[in-house]
Amino acid sequence: MSEPEASDKRLVVEIWSDVVCPWCYVGKRRFEAAVEQFEHREEVEVVWRSFELDRGAPARQVGDYVGRLAAKYGTSTDEPEAMIERITDVGRSVGLEMRFDRAQHGNTFDAHRLLHLARARHVQDAVKERFMQAYFTEGRPIGDRDTLVELAVGAGLDAGEVAAVLDGDEYAAEVRADEEAAARLGASGVPFFVVDRRYAVSGAQATDLFIEVLERAWAS
Residue 6 in any domain: the answer is: no
Asked if the model's pLDDT at residue 7 lies above 70, the reply is no
Q: Minimal CA–CA distance to 149: which of 126, 165, 133, 138?
A: 165
Q: What is the pLDDT of residue 5?
A: 45
Phi first, then psi, for residue 191 (nearest 5°) are -75, 155
In a domain, 104, yes or no: yes
Lowest-pLDDT choice from 63-72, 127-136, 146-155: 63-72
* pLDDT > 50? residue 120: yes
- Residue 132 and residue 25 in contact, taking contact as beta carbons nearer than 8 Å: yes
Once rounded to an integer, what is the mean pLDDT over residues 49-78?
A: 83
Supply the pLDDT for residue 4.
40
- Asked, for residue 212, whether it belongs to a domain, the answer is yes
What is the extent of the structural domain holding 52? 11-219
- Examine residue 3 and state whether it is found in any structural domain, yes or no: no
Domain count of the chain? Answer: 1
The pLDDT, as a whole number, for residue 62 is: 74
Could you tell me if residue 134 is inside a domain? yes
* pLDDT 10s digits, 81-117: 999 999 999 999 999 999 999 999 999 999 999 999 9
How far is CA 51 from its chain centroid?
9
Q: Give residue-wise pLDDT tens across range 68-85.
A: 777 777 776 788 899 999
Instruction: Identify residue 6 by its one-letter amino acid code.
Output: A
Determine, yes or no, domain membership for 206. yes
Would residue 4 count as lying in a domain? no
Give dist(CA 4, CA 141) in Å, integer.
Answer: 51
CA atoms within 13 A on the CB side of 20: 26
Check residue 200 and give its pLDDT: 97
pLDDT at res. 68:
74
Q: Per the domain annotation, does 5 fall within a domain?
A: no
What proportion of the chain, given as a percentage, has pLDDT over 70? 96
Residue ranges of alpha helices (H) inside the chain are: 22-37, 65-73, 78-93, 109-120, 124-136, 145-154, 159-167, 172-185, 207-219
- Asked whether residue 6 carries a pLDDT value surpassing 60, the answer given is no
Instruction: Quote the CA–CA distance of 20 and 136 in Å, as a whole number.
Output: 7
Round the average pLDDT of the chain to a whole number and report it. 93
CATH number at residue 43: 3.40.30.10
